[in-house]
Chains A and B, each alone.
Chain A
Amino acid sequence: MNRILILFAHPLQQKSRINAQMIKSIEGLENVTINNLYNNYPDFFIDVNKEQDLLTQHDLIIWHHPFYWYSAPSILKEWFDLVLEHGFAFGKNGGELKGKTCMNVITTGARKETYTYNGFNRYPLNAFMIPFEQSAHLCQMNYLPPYAVHGSHLLDDNEVNSIARQYKADIIKLRDYDIPCSNFKKFEYSNDAISQLMP
């Protein structure tokens, strides 16, 4: 049993299709906390103590966001800068997050094929994840491969619904079963790891 914290960062929810649906699908799940950063901190004034408390109360930390400029929307950076303080998340007296697991849930407009060395975006998605991965490492957390939804621009409503349903099912699995972290790392995406390792 893992308690899951979803740190959701989307500045334009009113126009979002995929992300809004995905989040909606997991709303109200037991032991899943959704922390909507743009809604809770519209002025970017992040309550550091509250956020740190939330982190310590959960086992799996998920950064759920659209892929903006090969990274996360700006409030998530603000969240990293403020919440993962020295002395809390890392450093001699840090280590509060030690042993926790974390993961990015990402939606990209471009299709998966563009994220290759020969593709339009010139690197695989995992290559852009290095800052997150290393941050997790600094905080002694297990970093899972990204959970990605590609090609969002071209999805029709049915596809969006099935993605949202899949997301809910996967979150429930991650909540209810032990996560074989070291085996996850053999996969490029967590989507595949969950379907193969956690049937």
Chain B
Amino acid sequence: MTQDSIFLNSIIYLTAAVVSVPIAKKAGLGSVLGYLLAGIIIGPHALHLVGNEGAEIMHFAEFGVVIMLFLIGLELHPSMLWQMKRQIFGLGGLQIGITASIITVLSAFFWLNLTQAVTTGLILAISSTAIVLQTLSEKGLLKTQAGQHSFSVLLMQDISVIPILSIIALLAGEAASSGDLIVTENVVAHEGWQKFLIIIAIVAFIIIAGRFFAHYLFRFIAETKMREIFTATALLMIISITLAMNYVGLSPALGTFIAGVVLANSEYRHELENNLEPFKGLLLGLFFISVGANIDFILLKNNLLTIVFILSLLIITKLIVLYILGRAFKLNYSQNMLFTFSLAQSGEFAFVLISFATQNGIYDSFTSGVLLIVVALSMLITPLLFIINEKWIQPKLAKIDAKPPEDIIDNETNPVIIAGFGRFGMVLGRFLVANGIKATIIDNNPHNIDYLRKFGYKVYYGDITNANTLKSAGAEEAKILVITMNDRNQIDSLVNVAKRNHPHLKLIVRGIDIAHALELKNKGVDAVKQETFGSAVSLGIEALKNLDFNSYQAQRAANTFKHLGQQLMDKLQQRYSPDDPHFVMETKKFSEHLENILLMQQKHPIQDMDCAWDPESLIEEAKEHHLKQNKNEN
């Protein structure tokens, strides 16, 4: 491809995405359907903006699935994964086994020979990780019971792609290979046990490196404060794992998933998520577009009835199997319907497996063409199935299920988020912890984090001014966001992001100076304190005490001073108008020029103002009274 054609293609794909996805989302269809439709529109059968290179792009875009599995791994702690073992192996295994068997029988009954039938059963049993997880997380359903069950099944399917490849190779009766990114047959020409050892070694390497060394690497990179290098490191890591997995013939998605799980406890988790999220999103989008673009509408038109029949048979079979299994695994009706309708399609692995089987002579070009269309259409109608479930089925089930489905609540949903955990934030954090209040802490200085983690604080490294980080820190569930960062711009942008995305959050902010505090107050933050004011006055108390002030006298002087400061703030606040350049200049001048503050104080010296308990006037009066009495007596 020449440079120009790369740019031209980029424009076509990006325009398609930018135009169709927002429209699809507005129409309530979800982004996946938007991408698929965009693909169909730009594909060879509609506008013909892209031609046959669509298939190549699809293989490249499958890398998005690899990144997605890594990100999902990041969300799963190893202990959570262990708790899910029954769902992964039991539910997932049964789903693949039963669905594959039924489809095999049906295929053999209608038209295929036994080899073809078994192959077809195995291929079509697998669902689409990309569509299902993307849709579930978009709808915020990933953490529901149905979401977790769906995820377990998809994970098991992903694992079983490797044995399925072997089975197909075996059925074809000859060794074969494919140069695909997602799955490759063993390219290491070793004996079985040697290969097994190499696999164990590589997986062990990923786990050990992730558990013990990644931490140092990420900190080293993060300290450079170069975001793009952090992103580059994350991508480098994932691509390396992908290649290593390809080398030993394991699924790269599985490899990066393991890496993600290993890094789930890392303090750099949020940062990794934020850096990789856009890549995942774009690549998945590209993948969906290419699926849409690759649907062969001529073949579809010529065999419409056959294809619709096969498609219906596939979807109905899957729905029935999933429904029964969901009930057997004790999902309630509403959750079970979500689970059932989520997984009723065939997935992206089918494209790979079908071409692999065709290369091995199992399918003729007609059969493979028909199957490819069936798979693509099943993906295309998945968003529609979600809509049917939401609009028609769930409302009716609401009455049957006595109580609503319980969400699996993330255990890091604390009522308080502290943004910025330097010396200032640390005192505040200790204060809250001492009062039994749990806080999620985000800081963008890796040094602080190491130090604090040693003392058992749960601190994350990340740029919280990023809307996604704020969200993943639990902003939806939190009540209060305490901002103790020391960079004025960062404070401002976090206040803006929080106000825009999470209006329910109470904002407690440390302002830099008077002008900043005023500005924040007018943005509607709930409380603001100047960062140095309190401690400066406290130190002033000590100074006074060493100048022969009594402790209590010094304390009152400080209280008075603070009170006056607050009064001044309130006065300025009333006059505040951000549009009046005069006022803005005044306050700025005020905060910048000490002179003004000093002038103000000269007018109101605190010593003279505090008349509390002063008996002078009383003594004066008593003396007058006494004189008068003496006069009278005389």
Contacts of B619 in A (CB 8 A): 109, 153
Of B554, B615, B623, which one neighbours A15 at CB under 8 angstroms?
B615
Q: Is A13 close to B, CB under 8 A?
A: yes
Cβ of A153 and Cβ of B551 under 8 Å apart?
A: no
Cβ of B618 and Cβ of A14 under 8 Å apart?
A: no
Cβ of B613 and Cβ of A12 under 8 Å apart?
A: yes
Nearest chain-B residue to A42 (Cβ)?
B555
- CB B260 to nearest CB in A, in angstroms, measures 50
A73 to B615, CA, bound (A): 14
Q: Is A178 close to B, CB under 8 A?
A: no
Cβ of A42 and Cβ of B615 under 8 Å apart?
A: no
Cβ of A153 and Cβ of B550 under 8 Å apart?
A: no
Contacts of A15 in B (CB 8 A): 613-616
A40 to B549, CA, bound (A): 13
Cβ of B554 and Cβ of A154 under 8 Å apart?
A: no
Contacts of A43 in B (CB 8 A): 555
Contacts of B551 in A (CB 8 A): 38-40, 42
Q: Is B626 close to A, CB under 8 A?
A: yes
- CB B582 to nearest CB in A, in angstroms, measures 41
Cβ of B623 and Cβ of A153 under 8 Å apart?
A: yes
A15 to B553, CA, bound (A): 11
Cβ of A153 and Cβ of B555 under 8 Å apart?
A: no
Q: A153-B623, A154-B622 are in contact. Are A14 and B615 (CB under 8 A)?
A: no
A38 to B553, CA, bound (A): 9
Task: Type the 1/0 row for B509-553, where 1 means its CB is closer than 8 Å to any CB of A.
Answer: 000000000000000000000000000000001000000011111
Cβ of B552 and Cβ of A42 under 8 Å apart?
A: yes
Q: A12-B612, A12-B613 are in contact. Are A109 and B554 (CB under 8 A)?
A: no
Cβ of A13 and Cβ of B614 under 8 Å apart?
A: no
Nearest chain-B residue to A110 (Cβ)?
B622
Of A39, A68, A110, A154, which one neighbours B623 at CB under 8 angstroms?
A154
Interface centre among B552, B614, B622 (most CB of A within 10 A): B552
- CB B625 to nearest CB in A, in angstroms, measures 9
Contacts of A154 in B (CB 8 A): 622-623, 626
Q: Is A11 close to B, CB under 8 A?
A: yes
- CB A41 to nearest CB in B, in angstroms, measures 8
A42 to B545, CA, bound (A): 11
Cβ of A14 and Cβ of B622 under 8 Å apart?
A: no
Cβ of B613 and Cβ of A153 under 8 Å apart?
A: no
A14 to B610, CA, bound (A): 13
A59 to B145, CA, bound (A): 70
Docked complex: B48-76 residues within 8 A CB-CB of A? none
Task: Type the 1/0 row for A24-59, where 1 means its CB is closer than 8 Å to any CB of B.
Answer: 000000000000001110110000000000000000
Contacts of B553 in A (CB 8 A): 12-14
Q: A42-B555, A43-B555, A154-B623 are in contact. Are A13 and B550 (CB under 8 A)?
A: yes
A186 to B541, CA, bound (A): 48
- CB A66 to nearest CB in B, in angstroms, measures 8
Contacts of A73 in B (CB 8 A): 613
A68 to B552, CA, bound (A): 17
A109 to B549, CA, bound (A): 24
- CB A79 to nearest CB in B, in angstroms, measures 14
Cβ of A153 and Cβ of B614 under 8 Å apart?
A: no
Cβ of B614 and Cβ of A38 under 8 Å apart?
A: no
A40 to B545, CA, bound (A): 12
A81 to B124, CA, bound (A): 79
Of B554, B612, B616, which one neighbours A42 at CB under 8 angstroms?
B554
Cβ of A38 and Cβ of B552 under 8 Å apart?
A: yes
- CB A47 to nearest CB in B, in angstroms, measures 14
A132 to B552, CA, bound (A): 25
Interface centre among B556, B614, B615, B616 (most CB of A within 10 A): B615
Cβ of B550 and Cβ of A109 under 8 Å apart?
A: no
Task: Type the 1/0 row for A109-149, where 1 means its CB is closer than 8 Å to any CB of B.
Answer: 11000000000000000000000000000000000000000
Contacts of A12 in B (CB 8 A): 553, 612-615
- CB B492 to nearest CB in A, in angstroms, measures 34
A35 to B103, CA, bound (A): 91
- CB B549 to nearest CB in A, in angstroms, measures 8
Contacts of A40 in B (CB 8 A): 551
Contacts of B612 in A (CB 8 A): 11-12
A14 to B554, CA, bound (A): 11
Q: A109-B622, A153-B623, A154-B622 are in contact. Are A11 and B615 (CB under 8 A)?
A: no
Docked complex: B597-634 residues within 8 A CB-CB of A? 612-616, 618-619, 622-623, 626
- CB A121 to nearest CB in B, in angstroms, measures 13
Cβ of A11 and Cβ of B622 under 8 Å apart?
A: no
19 A-B pairs, CB-CB below 8 angstroms?
A11-B552, A11-B612, A12-B613, A12-B614, A12-B615, A14-B549, A14-B553, A15-B613, A15-B616, A42-B550, A42-B552, A42-B556, A43-B555, A68-B613, A73-B613, A109-B618, A109-B622, A153-B619, A154-B626
Which positions in A face B, CB cutoff 8 Å? 11-15, 38-40, 42-43, 68, 73, 109-110, 153-154
- Which 9 residue pairs across A and B have the least CB separation, nearest first? A42-B555, A38-B552, A153-B622, A42-B551, A12-B613, A42-B552, A153-B619, A39-B551, A11-B613
- A12-B613, A39-B550, A39-B551 are known contacts; what are 8 more A-B pairs with Cβ within 8 Å? A13-B550, A15-B615, A38-B550, A42-B556, A109-B615, A109-B618, A109-B622, A153-B619
